Amino acid sequence: MDGAEPAFEEFVRARWMSLVRYGYVLTGSRHDAADLAQEALARLGSAWPRVVRRDNPDAYVRTSMARLHISWWRRLRREHLMPDVPDRPVGDSAVDRIDAASELWPVLARLPRRQRAVLVLRYYEHRTDAEIAVLLNVSRGTVRSQASRALEKLRAHTSQHREATSGRQK
């Protein structure tokens, strides 16, 4: 951040962990979350004077992160992910608490990226369907259908989990 405005440097220091947590909710990966936050902050840095005068910088960087996430997803959707990572990531206690606090995360991680992004924006960011449509560059109908499909998958998992833990057979 050499040569950056002091206000921008302060913003980065104050918001970094929050943005990485937000990126983790979007991506499901600590490394991708940090990359996403870093790229969005780099874009914010180049636009800082304009954004700080006109907009809310936090909203700008979070919108950038959501758009970057979808852009990366579109570029990499043909990529075949491996179930096991060959190296061990450095731990982040805040992200570890997210993992430990939710049995639902593995199910969220299996959702398609667009469905996961819609749920994160709707329930974590409290965005409207219209706002999500603009952020993801899709129609409001697509937002609603993606949310509906994602919630259907989560409900199916919840009912299967309840049956498995109660001992009932299907």
CA pair distance 9, 5, nearest whole angstrom: 6
Instruction: Tell me the whole-structure pTM to 2 decimals.
Output: 0.50
Q: Tell which residue, 22, 45, 20, has the closest CA to residue 35.
A: 20
Per-residue pLDDT tens digits for 117-134: 998 888 888 889 999 999
> Which residue range(s) make up the domain with 62?
1-78+94-101
Write the pLDDT tens digit of every residue in 16-35: 999 999 999 888 888 889 99
Tell me whether residue 149 is in a domain: yes
Task: Categorize the per-residue pLDDT at 142 as very low, low, confident or very high, splitting at 50, 70 and 90.
Answer: very high
**For position 134, which CATH number holds?**
1.10.10.10
Closest CA to 73 of 65, 82, 62: 65
One domain for residues 72 and 109:
no
The tokens for 93 are 């206690």
Q: Is residue 12 part of a domain?
A: yes
Q: In terms of domains, do 170 and 108 share one? A: yes
Greater model confidence, 170 or 23: 23
Residues 5 and 57 grouped into a single domain: yes
CA angle 146–73–21, rounded 5-degree value:
85
For residue 102, which phi and psi values (nearest 5 degrees)? -135, 120
The answer to whether 139 touches 133, Cβ cutoff 8 Å, is yes
* End-of-domain residue from the set 53, 68, 101: 101
Boundary-marking domain end, from 68, 101, 134: 101
How many folded domains does the chain comprise? 2
Q: Are residues 57 and 128 in the same domain?
A: no
132 & 167 share domain: yes
What is the maximum alpha-carbon separation in the chain? 64
Residue 83 included in any domain: no
Q: Which range among 8-12, 48-52, 79-83, 101-105 has the greatest average pLDDT?
A: 8-12
Burial class (CB in 10 A: 0-12, 13-18, 19+), 132: buried
User: Residue 3 falls within a domain, yes or no?
Assistant: yes
